Structure 1
Amino acid sequence: MQYRELGSSGVEVSEVAFGAWVVGTDWWGDRSDEDAVDMVQHALNEGVTFFDTGDVYGHGRSEELIGEALGEYRDEVTVATKVGYDFYNNAQAGHGEIPKDLSPEYLRDAVEGSLDRLDMEYLDVLFLHNANVDEVTDEALEELYAMREEGLYDALGWALGPSIGWLAEGDRAVELDFDAVQTVYNLFEQTPGRHFLDTIREERADTSLIARVPHSSGLLNKQVTPDTELGTGDHRAHRPDAWFETGWEKVEAIEFLERNGERTMGQASIQYLLDDEEVASVVPTFRSVDDIDEWAATPDTPRLGDEERRRVDELYAENFGIDRDDGMTPEDFRTSVGGDDLRGAGVLPSEPAD
């Protein structure tokens, strides 16, 4: 395992992180609390030291289990959580989004609640969870900065998702010198990851990227194949059938990345993201101990060569030679500012002048 710093915060993260949305929820399959704790501790044994949870995962249960699993190793690990969804006063139905609250009073109560459940005195990283750009007011920022000064957390991040887009939010995080932006970013879905890399470089910012969904919902690690039947509760079932069908064709086009006995497709997909020094960590979804063993070993596998990288980038530029709609076009990308961010970035064409 290798380790990188989040921005200039001094907070160190493992290049491969543990996304704890699998802990305390059934979004990625059922597992007992004991199994979840064992997975977390197994990941730690394999060199994973960055554990990323959220207060809304299992309505606090994920944080409780992470605290139980890591309590005795507190000085050896980096723990992040996310706040912003008011699950205290709103029931959750399935995977639907519940109301958010980013008022100063709520943010402080949420952070203190997370610390209680984790049984920890401070957080290494605090993320705003899927906050719209207009929800992060000056008053909210003042409270966030005050809590950092008080030692409640060390590094500040903005977690974006689950849908593709969020350009206004990520750009604002870079403008505000947030230590980290967490975003969907993988070899098949490079918007908005590539956009944020450009923004960070243009602004010469210290903000780091944290890439989530690095395996494109199971395509790039070959866990979702034409023979896979996704259960009704599986978080990936929202993807259109056409998206999976085109995805399987794309996988065939990049199978040259596999090196028999040296690097799997799942490992190559992570290496592709880690090529950029601004990407501090990649957060795959560990569903089993076997996943942990494979993906935590990624930093020890061969990095992509220049020719491999060039071939991947050429394929991406031409949509892997596929000329049909996959059901998820840029017009469907998420925006909180009426599409101005997408048009400004060239993701959507500019509107004609009046």
Structure 2
Amino acid sequence: MQYRTLGDSGIEVSEVGFGAWVVGTDWWGDRTEEQAIEMVQHAVDRGITFFDTGDVYGHGNSEELVGRALDEVRDEITLGTKVGYDFYNNPQAGHGELPKELSPEYLRTAVERSLDRLGVEYVDLLQLHNANVDEVTPDVLETIDELREEGRIGAVGWALGPSIGWLADGDSAIENEFDAIQTVFNVFEQVPGQHFIDTIREHDAATSIVARVPHSSGLLNEQVTPDIELDSDDHRAYRPDEWYETGWEKVESLRFLERDGERTMGQAAIQWLLSHDEVAAVTPTFRTTDDIDEWATAPDTPPLSPEEEERVQGLTETNFGVTDDDGMHSLRSSVGGADLEGTGKHYAGS
């Protein structure tokens, strides 16, 4: 395992982190509390020190389990959580998105409740969960500064989503000198990740990127193949069929990234992300300890060569040779698509 720093915060994260949305929820398969705790502790044994959860995951259950699992190694790990969804006053309807709340009063209360569930005095990284740019007011920024001064939080991040757009939100995070932005970013879904890299470089900003969904919902780790039918409670089932049908074609064009006995496709997908200096950590969706064993060792596999990077870039420019629609043209935006003007992309409802 290798380690990088979040922005200018001085807070270190493992290049492969543990996204704890699989803990305390059934969106990525059922597991007992004991199994979830064992997975987290297994990740620690494999060198993972960055654990990223959120208060809305299992309505606090993920935080409680992560806190229990990491209690004895608290000083050795970097712990992050997210706030911004008001699940306290709103029932969850399936996988639907809950109402958001980011008033200073709510933010402070949510942070304190998260700390209680985690059983800690502070979190190393606090992220605003899918916040829209107009919700992060000067009062919200002032409250974040106060929490940092009080020692309740360390680094500050902005988790973007839930889809792969939201350029305005990430740009605002960079402008406001957030330590990290978390976004969907992988070989097949390079918008807006590449945009943020360009913005960070243009402004010589210190903001780091935390890349989630590095395997493009099961395509690049080949856990979703034409022979697999996803259960209705599997979060990946919400991708359109066209996404997977075109994705399987794209995977075949990337076979050159595999090195027998040295690097799997799943590891290569992580190495591609880590080839960008601005990416501090990658958070795969671990479903089993076998996943942890494979992907935690990705930083120790051969990095992509300049020739391989150039070849990936060429495929990106030709959509990997695929001409069929992938069903994902409705790139979402939190500001009605104004942030996407000039990018050649579209927003939901266009």
TM-score by length of 1: 0.97
> Post-superposition shift, 1:162?
2.0
Aligned to 1:124: 124
Displacement, 1:315? 0.4
Q: For the structure 1 residues 239 and 275, does the alpha-carbon distance in structure 2 shift closer, same or farther, using more than 3 Å as the test?
A: same
Give structure 2 stretches of 5+ with no counterpart.
none
Name the CA distance, whole Å, in 2 between partners of 1:100 and 1:164: 18
- Which residue is 1:141 aligned to? 141
What secondary structure sits across from 2:4 in the alignment? strand
SS in 2 for 1:269: helix
Aligned residue for 1:347?
Answer: 345
**How many angstroms apart in 2 are the aligned matches of 1:67 and 1:238?**
30
Q: Partners in 2 of 1:172 and 1:47 — Cα distance?
A: 33
Alignment correspondent of 1:212? 212
**Range 334-343 or range 40-49, more displaced:** 334-343
Q: Is it true that 1:194 corresponds to 2:194 in the alignment?
A: yes
Q: Deviations over 1:172-230 (max 9, x none)?
A: 00000000000000000000000000010001000000000000000000000001110
The CA deviation string for residues 314-352 of structure 1, in whole angstroms up to 9 with x for no partner, is 0011001111211111xx111122211001444359xxx
1:222 aligns to what? 222
The amino acid of 1:115's aligned partner reads L
1:84 is aligned to 2:63 = no
Q: CA deviation at 1:103?
A: 0.1
Aligned partner of 1:336 in structure 2 is 334
Q: Structure 1: how far apart are the matches of 2:183 and 2:334?
A: 16
Q: Distance in 1 between matches of 2:344 and 2:209?
A: 21
Q: Could you say which residue in structure 2 is the equivalent of 1:9?
A: 9
Query: Are 1:170 and 2:200 counterparts?
Result: no
Counterpart CA distance in 1 for 2:12 and 2:126 is 14
Partner Cα separation in structure 2 for residue 59 and residue 52 of structure 1: 15
Structure 1: which 4+ aligned runs deviate by more than 2 Å? 344-349
What residue in structure 2 maps to residue 352 of structure 1?
none
Counterpart of 1:267 in 2: which secondary structure? Answer: helix
Give the whole-Å Cα distance in 1 for the aligned partners of 2:25 and 2:336: 33
Does the 8 Å CA contact 2:331/2:346 hold for their aligned counterparts? no
Cα RMSD between the aligned structures?
Answer: 0.9
> Aligned-pair distance for 1:312?
0.8
Q: Which amino acid aligns with 1:281?
A: A
Any stretches of 5+ residues in structure 1 without a counterpart? 350-354
Counterpart residue identity of residue 125, structure 1: L
Aligned counterparts of 2:335 and 2:33: Cα–Cα separation in 1: 41
- Give the whole-Å Cα distance in 2 for the aligned partners of 1:321 and 1:58: 40
- The answer on whether the counterparts of 1:40 and 1:66 sit within 8 Å (CA) in structure 2 is yes
The answer as to whether partners of 2:331 and 2:345 remain within 8 angstroms in 1 is no
Inter-partner Cα distance in structure 1 for 2:168 and 2:343: 10
How far apart are the structure 1 equivalents of 2:93 and 2:331? Answer: 24
Q: Within 5 Å, give how 1:140-289 maps onto structure 2.
A: 140-289=140-289
Amino acid at match of 1:339: G
Distance of 2:344 and 2:173 partners within structure 1: 20
Q: Is the 8 A contact 1:195 1:345 kept in 2?
A: no
TM-score (norm 2): 0.98
2-structure distance, mates of 1:163, 1:313: 23
Moved more, 139-148 or 119-128: 139-148
Q: Partners of 1:160 and 1:226 in 2: how far apart? A: 30
Q: Provide Cα deviations, 1:42-80, integer angstroms capped at 9, x if missing partner.
A: 000000000000000000000000000001101000000
Rounded to whole Å, the distance in 1 between the matches of 2:142 and 2:210 is: 24
Identity of aligned residues (%): 70
Give yes or no for contact 2:209–2:279 (8 Å, CA) kept in 1.
Answer: yes
In the alignment, structure 1 residue 113 sits paired with structure 2 residue 113: yes
Distance 2:319 2:162 in 1: 22
Task: Report deviation, 1:10.
Answer: 0.6
Paired residues of 1:55 and 1:81 also in contact (CA < 8 A): yes
The answer to whether the 8 A contact 1:13-1:50 is kept is yes
SS in 2 for 1:58: coil
